[in-house]
Chains A and B, each alone.
Chain A
C-alpha cells in the first residue's frame, strides 16, 4: 500500500499543512503497513524537499518547471494524477487549503477516486479507513467510507498536528512531467499578499471582534491584543456586513471555518452561524458584557464585562507575560 502526500509550498517554503499532510500519512501508513511518498511541485523546490523526511516520507518526488512558479489548477492536477499513477498510490492526502480543495476534485476525476473533504480524523477499522468530517459547519459529524480503490482525503488545517521534524532523511526523485501550454489554461499570474497580515485560516491564535465594539476604529484595541499574542484578527459577519472589516476576516458558517489553539471572541454574541465556524477551536475565551450571551456556552474561559476595559487590560497582561 502506498500513501501519496501532497506537500504544499509557496515561494519555495513549505506551508505548515505540508508537514501536517506528510505526518498524517505516516500515522495512517503505520497502521496499514504502507509507504509514504511526498510530492512537491514548484519552480525551484528541490532544495527544500529533504525536509519532508523528518515528518515521515520515505521518498519525495519533485516536479519542477519554471512555469510552476505560481499555482496552476490544471497543471497541478495533471502532475499529481500522473505521479499517483506512476506510484500506484492507493491513498492521496492533500490539505483542505485553498490550493488543496481546488485541485482535489480534478485529481479525483482523473483517477476515478472518491474524496472525503476536510477530514478531522482518520481511523482504521478492520482494514477499512474511516474518515470523520464535520457537516453543517460542525453542528454534526459524519463518518464516511470511500468505496473506490483509490481514495482521496483532504485534511483540515491545524487538526493533524505535525510536531517537530525527527531529522530523518528521504530519497529524492525528480519527475519530469511533459506539460503543454494547454495544461496552463488556468494559471496564476500574480499573488497579492496582505503584507504581514496573518490569516485566520492559518493562525494558531485568533482574536475576533463583533458588533459590540460599536465602531470600526475600536478594532484598534483588537489589533493590539492580537499583536501581543501573535494572533490573527477575525470578525463576526455583523461587522463585515457593516463594512468595518474585510470579508476575508469573517469567521462562521458563511465565512471561514477555523480550528486555532486559542480563539478569543470579543463583543460577539455567539449566534449559531458564528459558533459554527469556530466551535472546534481547542480553547475559547469569551469577553462579553451580557452574561447570557450564547458565546459563553462554548467558552472555556469567560469574562463578563465591558470589552473597552477588559481588552486593554488583557493586552497589558499578555505583554507583561511575554516581556519576562
Chain B
C-alpha cells in the first residue's frame, strides 16, 4: 500500500509564548521544536498499516530546513522515505493544505494520515481541507481504525462517546490521542535515519485566506485566595463558590 503521513514541526509543549517584534508571530528565540504530538500518532498508525498490508510509508512536512529534524524523527520511527515541501514563508491552513494536497496527488497515496491538530495554531483544519481538495473520504479524531478489503471501520471521538464510521479506501485518517501508543525510535532506527536522504521539493505559492492582525498574551489572572490548609476550609470554599462566584 502507498501510505502517506503529514507531519508538522511545532514548538514543544513547554514553550512560554513570547510575542515577536512584528506583533504577529511568536519570538522563536530559545524555543525548542518537535514532531507535533498528534502527528506522532499518525506516524505510528501509518507504520502499523504498512506492517499489516506491506508497502511503504512516506512522511512529508511543509516548512523550512528545520522541519528536517521532525522528518528524521519520523524516519527513525520507521518511515521509509521523507519529503520536505520547502517553503519558509507564513501560510494559513488553507495554503498549507493546498500544497499538501498537490503532493498527495502526485504521490498517489492510497491512505493519508494526519494528526488532529498542530499544537501551535490549534487549527484542526488541514486534514479535512486536504480530503475535500482531493475529493477523498475522511474520518477525524480517530481513536480506533480497522481496514479490511478496502473497507474502513473507524471510531471517532465525540462529546460523551464515540461514533462508528464506515468508509472506503482511498481515504484520509486524522489521528486523535488514544489511537495507539507511538513507538520510541530504536537505536538502529536512529542510525538508519541519519543515512536516509530527505527529498526536497519546491512548492508553488498559494495565497492565504486568513491573516493574523495581532498576537498577544492572554490577560493575566489576579492572584487567587488561599482559603485554608485543611478540611475545615471546605465550608468556606463552598460558601464562596455559592455566594461570591455564584457558580454552584
Contact in complex: A300, B245 (CB < 8 Å): yes
Contact of A142 among B158, B166, B212, B224 (CB under 8 A): B212
Q: Which of A147, A257, A282 contacts B210 (CB 8 A)?
A: A147
Q: Mark A119-150, 1 if CB is under 8 A from B, else 0.
A: 00000000000100111111111111111100
A238 to B92, alpha carbons, bound, how many Å? 33
Option from A109, A205, A254, A314 in Cβ contact (under 8 Å) with B177: A254
Interface residues of B in 125-182 (CB under 8 A from A): 125-129, 131-133, 137-141, 143, 155-168, 177-178
**Interfacial chain A residues near B215, Cβ < 8 Å:** 135, 140-142
Residues of A with C-beta under 8 A to B13: 137, 253-254, 272-273, 276
Complex: chain B residue closest to A286, CB-CB: B224
User: Within 8 Å of chain A (Cβ to Cβ): is B14?
Assistant: yes
Contact B124 A101 (CB under 8 A): yes
Q: Name the residue in B140, B168, B234 with the highest tally of chain A Cβ atoms < 10 Å from its Cβ.
A: B234
Q: Is the CB of A187 within 8 A of B165?
A: yes
* Contact code string A303-314 (vs B, CB < 8 Å = 1, else 0): 111100110111
For B211, the chain A residues whose CB sits under 8 A away are 144-145, 147
Total contacts A-B at CB 8 Å: 272
Cβ-based interface call for A155 (8 A) = no
Within 8 A of B (CB), among A144-190: 144-148, 185-190
Q: Are B141 and A98 in contact (CB under 8 A)?
A: yes
* Interchain CB contact under 8 A, A140 and B19: yes
Q: Does A117 lie within 8 Å of B123, measured CB to CB?
A: yes
Residue numbers in B under 8 Å from A109 (CB-CB):
129, 132-133
A286 to chain B, nearest CB (A): 8
Known A98-B159, A108-B129, A313-B231; judge A301-B212 contact (CB<8 A). Answer: no
State whether A316 and B163 are in contact (beta carbons under 8 Å apart), knowing that A301-B227, A302-B227 are contacts in the complex: no
**Known interface pairs A302-B224, A303-B228, A309-B231. Does A142 touch B214 (Cβ–Cβ under 8 Å)?**
yes
Chain A neighbourhood of B177, CB < 8 A: 247, 250, 254-255
Residues of chain A lying within 8 A (CB to CB) of residue B157: 98, 248
Question: Is B202's beta carbon under 8 Å from chain A?
Answer: no
Contact of B92 (CB < 8 Å), options: A106, A114, A303: A114
- Report the minimum CB–CB distance from B130 to chain A (whole Å): 8
Write 9 A-B pairs (CB below 8 A) sorted by A numbering. A77-B132, A115-B209, A133-B122, A136-B11, A146-B210, A279-B221, A283-B241, A317-B237, A321-B238
Other than the given A130-B213, A310-B230, 14 more pairs (CB < 8 A) read: A98-B141, A101-B125, A108-B129, A135-B215, A142-B24, A142-B213, A142-B216, A186-B166, A189-B164, A192-B155, A192-B163, A300-B225, A305-B233, A310-B233
In the A-B complex, the 8 residue pairs with the closest CB atoms: A114-B209, A105-B128, A193-B161, A247-B178, A199-B160, A313-B234, A313-B231, A109-B132
